[in-house]
Amino acid sequence: MRKNGKFLGNQPKQSKAVGFCHSAQHQGYMSEKMLKAHGCLGKNCPYLEKYEDMQFWKDREKKKADKKARKAAENA
Ligand SMILES: [Zn+2]
């Protein structure tokens, strides 16, 4: 098998990936851990293609919504 230096090592299986980053710095399938390690989430990486079907993103949205609701309740 030919190694592709452009791609990340230790990539997750595609079935486990929560997204794919097209950034030349860290191109490849992204697991949840890798998103954090590469700062794709924190920096709002513009190259990140989210696999919206993955539970990870749904959980994330839910957490965000919960936080918002709690804040709203506190300020009420
Ligand atoms: Zn990225």
Confidence of residue 2 (pLDDT cuts 50, 70, 90): very low
**Region of poorest pLDDT, from 6-10, 17-21, 72-76:** 6-10
Distance 47 CA to ligand 1 centre (A): 5
Distance 32 CA to ligand 1 centre (A): 12
Confidence of residue 9 (pLDDT cuts 50, 70, 90): low
Distance 6 CA to ligand 1 centre (A): 14
Q: 21 or 2, which is more confident?
A: 21
- Segment 12-67, tens digit of pLDDT: 787 889 999 999 888 899 999 889 888 898 878 999 999 999 999 999 999 999 99
> Exposed, middle or buried, 7 (CB in 10 Å: 0-12/13-18/19+)?
exposed
Torsion over CA of 42, 27, 24 and 26, rounded to 10 degrees? 50
Q: How far apart are the first and last CA of the chain?
A: 60
Instruction: Say what the pTM is.
Output: 0.72
